[in-house]
């Protein structure tokens, strides 16, 4: 009951209230449609046309949403389809890298916000809609229902149970839109793809037929092919396994004239192919002729498949003293009749026959020979030009012949070029294809193997031989330097915006479902359109509906009256109630959740700062964890602040009525039903600052959703990982059981590699580079990522042969010029005599004869260069010192090698005191193995690590030290025997094909450094300023040859023992390496966004802590001055917006004395004008002077004499 009674004042105010009462109670003839007074009959007719409907529930608004949702469904489907068919949507702009996640999130959030208005009005007005549509008391089941006070799960459950389909579907759409917000953060993603960019490429060569093959450098085609076959080398640029193709480059300046691994070049150029077509031997007949001079004579007729005539040949084979079986072979072509077989007319080139066979003793007469095996083919070659597609990455171009491309024959007589090439390479006249193919490919050949002498085998060998040589022939002989701009393209990696197909499908389906539901709403909205004269859900609207509506159905009034007393009791007991979302317990949990988010963000930001990254992002196309999870986390924050704000705005007017007066226009508004700035303005105007603060907070928190979508960004950050590789090999001395022939073959193959180096780009064999040889490494460690693009940098201990050189005084050698008369010419030479003592003290002479060039220069000077045998080499000394004890058989396997270099020039016929010498240079170099650390870049090639030749190893000379344990220097030339009793294997430097007569008698190692095979000119050998360059060139070749030989002959597996000391390796340290993944995508936390989110969350936490402190201080200490009330405890009971509770509160209001019948038809502005003198409060009002017994809790007019205001509710006992 009220504690005090307030009497109404008399005078002017009382007269004003009476005037208002009289005005409002007078009949209203106002027609709200025309604005004119009408007769009561016309007025009754107008009442049947309802004028008001909730704005967001109108059919046009729902229809607009339906169109929007349908548009989103179609748009997302089109985006997904376009993205899938075009490798993304478009190139990602660096300045807009956040927009592709930020934009969709903002857009979907705005849609959700506007749909929330539909949801709010559906929840707010659904009980009123049911009340308006009720035909009897049995349909009034929503009188006590207040959907606005329920949280979303309860709304769904309640509406489903009550079969309120409209409410259920509206709220269901709202939930789906929140799911869309979470999903849309991941609707787009950045992907790195390879795209083709058109460019201009400059072709640098073309192919033309040539007749002059006399240039000795053409032999490089043979040597290069042989080196590729025998060593693990890449093909040179311009050569593939099937053809030679035009070389090209990027015009203009740039880091590389060719393509790179990251950006290869694609171009279509001419490729020169050589094809071989053969017919096999079908049968043969032969006739033996009597022996003459121990020779075998035979005449044979060969019949080939698909050939019209027999082809005959005569064989003469010497056999005396030869072991059987005897192999024979021959190649011939008939230039006068080039087309031996019409089925092989193949581009106009001459045809040729190759046959091979075996002679054995005749089974009938062992004293004579007969043909045991005979294989033959008649072949024709064809050289033609066709377009090829080349993808050049700068390391290993990929060449593909274009299918269906036109072929243009080139009459180059390719078979003749093969014959002349083999001859130019020093192999003599080509007769035995089987043997030459074996030598070229490095295979062993057993001429007595009968399986070789089959026509199909011969065809395979011949095709392999020509197929191996022909690309190199085209590269070295038929290629001509020409320049021409041609179109090409470059493969570049670009970041493109791609639609996430799975997310797009999910969102399109969801939007489609929402669009269908919205379409149903459009038709359903006609049933609820214009069902009121004015808004019934405001306090003033409810007053007019319940107290000023004479057309209210009687059963509605009867139904409400049954529960009015019970509902009134709820209002009286409401002093302890506060809504769930704003209770202290809920706010405490929310603060704890928000603080946890802030702590998590701060921790991840600190990790991101310290480590520059958070985690590695895999190739997962649905990274929901880092893109959508943050949105979900902050969506919870935004939903709570929004719900809290909605609750406070819902109770705003009621809270003001509890403590202050309100005007009629203030009673006719609902802050809950207002948007944005309008609600903010009215909360300030009404001085309800807790609502102002909560609304600001809810608005700011909406930005959290958008910001969280760009909180984490996948960024390409190269990763460096340090790992260790165990060594799996070691270097030692190996006394090989290989024959001298096998060792010589190895050195001849190596010579081909050294010769080729000066003429073309090539890669060194595995585990070698220049003069360095590297240990093998165990790369099975799981820490390394074996994908293309991974780069490994390691400091590897490499072995290299390093010289220590000194100039030899002129007096240490006795140099005598000499002349030898050969009968047809004179050979000028030098005898270099070294005198040394054997171990027994015997003085011994070591004489070296060095020929000068067979020709002289124009000024009669002759050049001379060679290597002198040195007594410092134990094997050489042992050969000369015959009186020494039996030398060690391993004396040639020494960990050092002494080379004495001698070069200069002298004038023929000169009589000067120095024997005609005008210039002499004598150097002695001691070569030993040293260890040097090499900074080596490695790349993945065919499943193993290989040295990156585009970024060669860099040695650290400060780390040079003797190799331990020492191992022998390999035999790289014929001047150093392995033992005194064994001959030296053939040297490495033996195949230089110089045509310059000035150097024809130079030592092999010197020939290898003279142009075109090396960097030294002949004239440099009489120039003292060139001594260091000459020595450097010699050192390089010696080191390179030794490294290759060690790689092949002296490398031991880690568990393999040597057969000479040291037999085992010491403990080998692991090789430390850094693995760089340049394409690793890492998750980076956006610092600016994180700070913005932390600021907003700090504000949220501060306000909520302030609200909690205010609630405590207001309750226990009575402090009010600086506190805010964000709990609204005791303002209204639960479900206070329900029709039953609203009716119970307003039923006893003294406003009834001021309302005329059907006042709700009066325009709002006129009502406000008439009621501007009235003030309303929520409290206790007396009934005609007996308030102790009849006081009622209601919203009434202040200063009413008949029902005076007794006090605010908080004053009750």
- Going by pLDDT thresholds of 50, 70 and 90, the confidence category of residue 637 is very high
Q: How many CA atoms lie within 13 A of 494 on its CB side?
A: 16
- Going by pLDDT thresholds of 50, 70 and 90, the confidence category of residue 1186 is very low
Separation CA 188–CA 503 (nearest Å): 9
Residue 37: pLDDT over 50 = no
Residues 504 and 482 in one domain: no
Q: Which residue has the tokens 């106002």?
A: 30
Question: E strand or H helix at 1029, and its extent?
Answer: helix 1027-1049
Is residue 819 assigned to a domain? Answer: yes
pLDDT of 64: 94
C-alpha closest to that of 249 among 583, 464, 490, 580? 490
Domain end marker among 447, 472, 490:
490
* Under 8 Å between Cβ of 932 and 920: no
- Going by pLDDT thresholds of 50, 70 and 90, the confidence category of residue 244 is very high
Residues 704 and 823 in one domain: no
pLDDT by residue (tens digit) across 829-858?
Answer: 677 888 888 877 788 888 887 766 555 555
- pLDDT, mean over the chain: 80
1139-1146 and 539-547 are packed helices; what angle lies between their axes, rounded to 10 degrees?
A: 80
* Under 8 Å between Cβ of 917 and 871: no
* CA 766 distance to own-chain centroid: 28
Separation CA 970–CA 153 (nearest Å): 86
Is residue 193 assigned to a domain? Answer: no
Question: Does residue 267 or residue 208 have the better pLDDT?
Answer: 267
Residues 671 and 768 in one domain: no
Q: Report the DSSP pairing between strands 772-773 and 896-907.
A: unpaired
* Under 8 Å between Cβ of 830 and 815: yes
Residues 827 and 957 in one domain: yes
Residues 335 and 456 in one domain: yes
> Quick one: average pLDDT of 77-88?
86
Is residue 201 assigned to a domain? Answer: no
> Which residues, other chains included, contact 140 with Cβ-Cβ below 8 Å and sequence gap of 6+?
130, 131, 134, 555, 556, 559
- State in Å, rounded, how far the first CA of the chain is from the last one: 6
pLDDT of 337: 64
Domain end marker among 1033, 1053, 1077:
1077
Separation CA 270–CA 904 (nearest Å): 49
Is residue 759 assigned to a domain? Answer: yes
Residues 650 and 798 in one domain: no
How much is the CA Rg of the chain, to the nearest whole Å? 52
* Under 8 Å between Cβ of 241 and 515: no
Is residue 777 assigned to a domain? Answer: yes
pLDDT by residue (tens digit) across 256-303?
Answer: 688 877 788 999 999 999 888 899 999 888 777 555 556 677 788 888
Question: Does residue 795 or residue 761 have the better pLDDT?
Answer: 795
Task: Tell whether omega for the bond before 325 is within 30 degrees of 0, i.e. cis.
Answer: yes
pLDDT of 35: 41
E strand spans, 517-558: none
Residues 163 and 228 in one domain: no
Q: Where are the alpha helices (DSSP H) in 825-939?
A: 874-880
- Count how many domains the chain has: 3
Domain end marker among 490, 508, 534:
490
* Under 8 Å between Cβ of 337 and 308: no
Separation CA 880–CA 885 (nearest Å): 12
Residue 782: pLDDT over 90 = no
Separation CA 1129–CA 1135 (nearest Å): 14
Three-state SS for 445? Answer: coil
Residues 1100 and 1044 in one domain: no
Q: Which residue has the tokens 């002499």?
A: 920
Task: Indicate yes or no: pTM above 0.75.
Answer: no
* Under 8 Å between Cβ of 1211 and 3: yes
pLDDT of 1123: 66
Is residue 749 assigned to a domain? Answer: yes
Residues 1057 and 1116 in one domain: no
**Mean pLDDT lowest for which of 169-173, 346-350, 1033-1037?**
346-350
Is residue 723 assigned to a domain? Answer: no
* Under 8 Å between Cβ of 532 and 52: yes
C-alpha closest to that of 1194 among 808, 722, 667, 686? 667
Q: Provide the domain limits for residue 241.
A: 207-490
Separation CA 639–CA 593 (nearest Å): 13
Residues 974 and 1095 in one domain: no
C-alpha closest to that of 249 among 201, 205, 207? 201
Separation CA 89–CA 83 (nearest Å): 5
Residues 1096 and 1056 in one domain: no
Residues 1029 and 950 in one domain: yes
Question: Does residue 814 or residue 1174 have the better pLDDT?
Answer: 1174
Is residue 721 assigned to a domain? Answer: no
Sign of CA dihedral 927, 933, 939, 942: positive
Q: Read off the tokens for 850.
A: 């060095």
What DSSP letter does each residue of 771-823 carry, written as one string? TEE---B----TTS--STT-EEEEEEEEEEEEEEEEEPPGGGSEEEEEEEE-S
Residue 110: pLDDT over 80 = yes
- Going by pLDDT thresholds of 50, 70 and 90, the confidence category of residue 529 is low
**Mean pLDDT lowest for which of 249-258, 513-522, 773-782, 1034-1043?**
249-258
- Under the phi-then-psi rule, with left for phi > 0, alpha for psi from -120 to 50, and beta for the rest, what region is 88? left
């Amino acid at each position: 009951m009220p504690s005090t009674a307030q009497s109404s004042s008399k005078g002017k105010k009382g007269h004003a209230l009476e005037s208002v009462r009289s005005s409002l109670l007078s009949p209203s003839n106002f027609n709200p449609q025309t604005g004119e007074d009408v007769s009561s009959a016309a007025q009754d007719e107008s009442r049947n046309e309802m004028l008001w409907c909730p704005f967001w529930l109108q059919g046009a608004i729902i229809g607009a949403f339906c169109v929007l949702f349908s548009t989103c469904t179609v748009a997302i489907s089109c985006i997904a389809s376009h993205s899938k068919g075009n490798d993304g949507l478009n190139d990602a702009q660096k300045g807009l890298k956040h927009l592709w996640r930020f934009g969709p999130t903002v857009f979907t959030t705005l849609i959700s916000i506007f749909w929330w208005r539909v949801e709010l009005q559906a929840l707010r007005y659904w009980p009123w809609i049911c009340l308006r549509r009720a035909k009897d008391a049995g349909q009034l089941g929503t009188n006590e229902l207040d959907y606005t006070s329920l949280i979303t799960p309860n709304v769904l459950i309640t509406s489903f149970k009550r079969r309120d389909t409209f409410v259920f579907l509206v709220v269901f759409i709202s939930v789906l839109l929140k799911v869309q917000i979470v999903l849309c953060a991941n609707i787009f993603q950045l992907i790195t793809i390879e795209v083709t960019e058109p460019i201009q490429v400059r072709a640098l060569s073309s192919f033309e037929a040539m007749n002059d093959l006399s240039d000795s450098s053409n032999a490089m085609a043979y040597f290069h092919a042989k080196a590729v076959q025998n060593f693990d080398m890449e093909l040179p640029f311009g050569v593939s396994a099937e053809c030679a193709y035009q070389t090209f480059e990027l015009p203009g300046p740039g880091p590389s004239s060719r393509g790179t691994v990251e950006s290869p070049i694609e171009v279509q150029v001419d490729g020169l192919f050589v094809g071989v077509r053969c017919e096999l031997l079908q049968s043969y007949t032969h006739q033996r002729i009597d022996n003459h001079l121990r020779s075998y004579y035979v005449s044979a007729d060969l019949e080939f498949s698909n050939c019209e005539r027999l082809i005959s040949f005569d064989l003469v084979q010497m056999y005396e003293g030869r072991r059987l079986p005897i192999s024979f072979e021959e190649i011939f072509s008939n230039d006068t009749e080039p087309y031996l077989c019409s089925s092989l007319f193949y581009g106009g080139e001459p045809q040729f026959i190759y046959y091979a066979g075996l002679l054995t003793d005749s089974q009938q007469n062992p004293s004579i020979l007969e043909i045991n095996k005979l294989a033959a083919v008649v072949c024709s070659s064809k050289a033609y030009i066709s377009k090829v597609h080349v993808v050049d990455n700068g390391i290993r171009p990929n060449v593909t012949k274009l299918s269906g491309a036109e072929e243009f024959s080139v009459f180059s007589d390719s078979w003749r070029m093969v014959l002349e090439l083999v001859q130019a390479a020093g192999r003599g006249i080509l007769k035995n294809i089987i043997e030459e193919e074996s030598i070229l490919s490095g295979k062993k050949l057993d001429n007595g193997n009968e399986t070789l002498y089959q026509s199909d085998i011969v065809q395979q060998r011949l095709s392999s031989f020509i197929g191996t040589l022909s690309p190199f022939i085209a590269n070295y002989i038929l290629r001509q330097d020409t320049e021409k701009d041609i179109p090409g393209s470059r493969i570049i990696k670009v970041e493109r915006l791609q639609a996430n197909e799975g997310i797009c499908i999910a969102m399109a389906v969801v939007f489609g479902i929402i669009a269908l539901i919205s379409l149903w709403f459009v038709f359903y909205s006609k049933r609820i359109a214009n069902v009121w004269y004015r808004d019934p859900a405001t306090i003033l609207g409810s007053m007019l509906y319940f107290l000023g509506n004479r057309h209210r159905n009687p059963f509605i009034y009867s139904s409400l009256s049954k529960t009015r007393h019970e509902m009134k009791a709820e209002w009286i007991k409401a002093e302890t109630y506060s809504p769930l979302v704003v209770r202290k317990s809920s706010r405490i949990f929310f603060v704890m959740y928000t603080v946890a988010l802030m702590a998590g963000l701060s921790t991840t930001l600190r990790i991101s700062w310290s480590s520059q990254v958070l985690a590695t992002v895999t190739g997962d196309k649905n990274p929901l964890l880092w893109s959508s999870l943050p949105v979900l986390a902050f969506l919870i924050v935004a939903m709570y602040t929004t719900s809290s704000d909605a609750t406070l705005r819902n109770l705003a007017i009621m809270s003001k009525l509890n403590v202050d007066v309100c005007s009629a226009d203030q009673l006719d508004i609902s802050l809950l039903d207002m948007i944005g700035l309008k609600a903010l303005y009215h909360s300030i105007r009404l001085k309800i600052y807790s609502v102002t603060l909560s609304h600001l907070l809810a608005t700011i928190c909406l930005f959290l959703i958008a910001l969280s979508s760009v909180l984490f960004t996948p960024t390409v950050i190269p990763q460096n990982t340090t790992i260790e590789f165990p060594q799996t090999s070691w270097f030692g001395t190996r006394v090989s059981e290989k024959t001298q022939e096998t060792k010589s073959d190895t050195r001849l193959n190596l010579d081909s590699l050294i010769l080729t180096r000066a003429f073309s780009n090539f890669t060194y064999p595995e585990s070698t580079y220049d003069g360095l040889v590297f240990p093998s490494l165990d790369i099975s460690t799981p820490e390394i990522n074996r994908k293309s693009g991974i780069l490994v940098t390691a400091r590897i201990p490499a072995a290299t042969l390093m010289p220590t050189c000194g100039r030899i005084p002129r007096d240490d050698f006795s140099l005598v010029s000499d002349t030898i008369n050969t009968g047809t010419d004179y050979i000028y030479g030098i005898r270099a005599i070294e005198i040394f003592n054997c171990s027994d003290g015997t003085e011994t002479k070591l004489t070296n004869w060095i020929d000068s060039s067979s020709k002289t220069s124009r000024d009669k000077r002759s050049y001379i260069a060679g290597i002198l045998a040195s007594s410092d080499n134990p094997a050489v000394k042992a050969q000369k010192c015959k009186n020494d004890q039996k030398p060690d058989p391993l004396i040639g396997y020494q960990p050092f090698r002494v080379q004495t270099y001698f070069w200069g020039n002298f004038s023929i016929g000169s009589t000067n005191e120095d024997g005609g010498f005008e210039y002499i240079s004598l150097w002695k170099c001691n070569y030993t193995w040293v260890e040097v650390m090499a900074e080596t870049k490695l790349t993945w090639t065919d499943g193993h690590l290989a040295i990156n030749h585009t970024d060669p190893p860099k040695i650290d000379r400060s780390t040079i030290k003797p190799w331990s344990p020492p191992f022998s220097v390999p035999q790289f030339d014929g001047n150093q025997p392995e033992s005194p009793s064994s001959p030296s294997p053939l040297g490495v430097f033996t195949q230089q094909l110089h045509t310059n007569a000035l150097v024809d008698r130079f030592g092999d190692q010197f020939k290898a450094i003279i142009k075109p095979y090396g960097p030294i000119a002949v004239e440099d050998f009489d120039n003292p300023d060139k001594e260091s360059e000459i020595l450097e060139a010699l050192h390089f070749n010696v080191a390179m040859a030794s490294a290759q030989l060690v790689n092949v002959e002296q490398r031991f597996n880690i568990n393999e023992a040597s057969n000479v000391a040291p037999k085992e390796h010491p403990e080998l340290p692991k090789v430390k390496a850094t693995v760089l993944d340049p394409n690793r995508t890492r998750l980076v936390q956006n610092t600016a966004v994180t700070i913005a989110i932390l600021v907003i969350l700090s504000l949220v936490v501060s306000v909520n802590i302030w609200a909690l402190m205010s609630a405590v201080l207001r309750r226990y200490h009575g402090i009010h001055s600086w506190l805010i009330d964000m709990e609204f405890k005791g303002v209204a009971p639960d479900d206070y917006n329900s029709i039953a509770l609203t009716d119970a509160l307003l039923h006893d209001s003294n406003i009834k004395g001021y309302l005329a019948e059907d006042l709700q038809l009066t325009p709002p502005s006129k009502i406000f004008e008439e009621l501007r003198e009235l003030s309303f409060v929520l409290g206790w009002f007396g009934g005609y002077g007996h308030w102790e017994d009849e006081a009622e809790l209601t919203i009434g007019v202040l200063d009413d004499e008949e029902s005076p205001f007794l006090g605010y509710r908080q004053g009750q006992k």
